[in-house]
Amino acid sequence: MRVLVIGSGAREHALLLALRNDPKVDHLVIAPGNAGTTAVAEQRDVDITSGPAVTALAREVGADLVVIGPEVPLVLGVADAVRAAGIACFGPSKDAARIEGSKAFAKDVMAAAGVRTARSEIVDSPADLDAALSRFGPDAGEAAWVVKDDGLAAGKGVVVTPDRAAARAHAAGLLEAGHPVLLESFLDGPELSLFCIVDGDTVVPLLPAQDFKRVGDGDTGPNTGGMGAYAPLPWLSREAAAGIVTDVVAPVAAELVRRGSRFAGLLYAGLAMTSSGPAVVEFNCRFGDPETQAVLALLESPLGQLLHAAATGGLDKFGALRWRDGAAVTVVLAAENYPGRPRVGDVIVGAEGDQVLHAGTTHRDDGAVVSCGGRVLSVVGTGDDLTAARAAAYRTIGSIRLPGSHFRTDIGLAAAENKIRI
């Protein structure tokens, strides 16, 4: 099987490594890729937002399966173009990808499916903002205001703050840019990510994971695209995870089918395990980054065959997934000033090996690997438990040199110390 992966981040690097372990995958192509993926797959260039361009490349390389990593091409309908050409594609249609592309659409689907989520309100006029803010946050007896961009924001369109002025400033900035604002009630309790391979009504869950959005230790500083993750979750029982599939993901998948927006791909549920039970924070339409890096490090089932089954209507016959014992931890190495405008162009030393997944990297003309983005690398450690996996990840990241770079030192620490409670 020849597989074409679309994307250029650490998530796609992790997908390539897992696909390489599938005995039925004999050729890998990635477009556009990065400096690290050149060691794993044939590298091509493509406009990932163009359905015709991706389709043409898939034909050129003889792809039996196209796997679309990022959300933007999915929301723009690139998967539809690939499927229309008769090529199997793992990734939802443009219509189904609205579950991530529009938070208002996602809220409507969840309401129809009877899935618990935060109370919310869309604000599309500055004149309505102050009155709406008064119905949320500390003004309404909640711990904080939750202000979101209604569209795609790469994980950085969210502000959670007890400061009304900060909440208002973020919302006003979004409205000024022409983006509707979503205000939500605050959900207490630890958060988790559950990825599910979905084909219509068939839902196959992967291991639950937890990611870390804020830039600094102790969940301080602004939101990012994600600074690390770990899997599995020692504080979440198998019964609780199964309940999330039954009560949250399956009803949403069924509701999308009922609406004629059948989902085929990776449905990602971000949830808070609140004092009143699980509640959805958001749905995404693709593998999450950095959780993917930790989850796939523990997968034993053949990923290429799994994704191909979901893309061709055979997921219900695939069977139970197999997982390695132990745990995996991902730590993100970020460029100086990230999540602000990152410093780029610096030489990276020590970023070789399968445990180092590249994202914001490229090759300079002289062959050196240099930084070209905010989240530069993801380092993955595995071990018999979270403590061992953390040690492995931090041992590797400590050997990498990138001027001005930074990373969190507490990824998975609270869980390893049994400090997380539902």
Task: State the DSSP string of 343-386.
Answer: ----B-BS--STTEEESSEEE-TTS-EEE-SSEEEEEEEEESSH
| Matching CATH number, 191-317, of 3.40.140.10, 3.30.470.20, 3.40.1170.20, 3.40.50.720 | 3.30.470.20
CATH annotation of 2-94: 3.40.50.20
Task: Locate 76 and state its tokens.
Answer: 């723009």
Q: Estimate to the nearest angstrom the gap between the alpha carbon of 347 and the chain centroid.
A: 27
Task: Locate 26 and state its tokens.
Answer: 């004999």
| CATH architecture for the domain at 327-417 | Alpha-Beta Complex (3.90)
CA distance 259 to 111: 13
**DSSP annotation of 326:** S
Q: What is the number of other CB atoms lying within 10 angstroms of the CB of residue 218? A: 11
- Spatial CA neighbour of 338 closest among 408, 411, 405, 409: 405
Per-domain boundaries in the chain: 2-94, 121-184, 191-317, 327-417
Question: Which residue(s) pair with 229 in the sheet?
Answer: 211, 330
CA distance 355 to 392: 10
Question: Which residue(s) pair with 330 in the sheet?
Answer: 229, 380
Cis peptide before 251 (omega within 30 of 0): no
Q: What is the number of other CB atoms lying within 10 angstroms of the CB of residue 102? A: 18
The confidence score (pLDDT) of residue 243 equals 96
CA distance 145 to 137: 4
Side-chain-side CA neighbours of 382 within 13 Å: the count stands at 14
Per-residue pLDDT of the chain (422 residues; tens, 9 = 90+): 999 999 999 999 999 999 999 999 999 999 999 999 999 999 999 999 999 999 999 999 999 999 999 999 999 999 999 999 999 999 999 999 999 998 889 999 999 999 999 888 889 999 999 999 999 989 888 889 899 887 765 555 788 899 999 999 999 999 998 989 989 888 889 999 999 999 999 999 999 999 999 999 999 998 899 999 999 999 999 999 999 999 999 999 999 999 999 999 999 999 999 988 899 999 999 999 999 999 999 999 999 999 999 999 999 999 999 999 999 999 999 999 999 999 999 999 999 999 999 999 999 999 999 999 999 999 999 999 999 999 999 999 999 999 999 999 999 999 999 999 88
Q: The pTM is what?
A: 0.92
The H-or-E segment that residue 42 falls in is strand 42-43
DSSP 3-state of 410: coil
CA distance 139 to 163: 10
CATH annotation of 121-184: 3.30.1490.20
Task: Locate 71 and state its tokens.
Answer: 């959300």
Unique residue bearing structure tokens 């990065």: 34
Task: Locate 96 and state its tokens.
Answer: 């189904």
Sign of CA dihedral 13, 14, 16, 17: positive
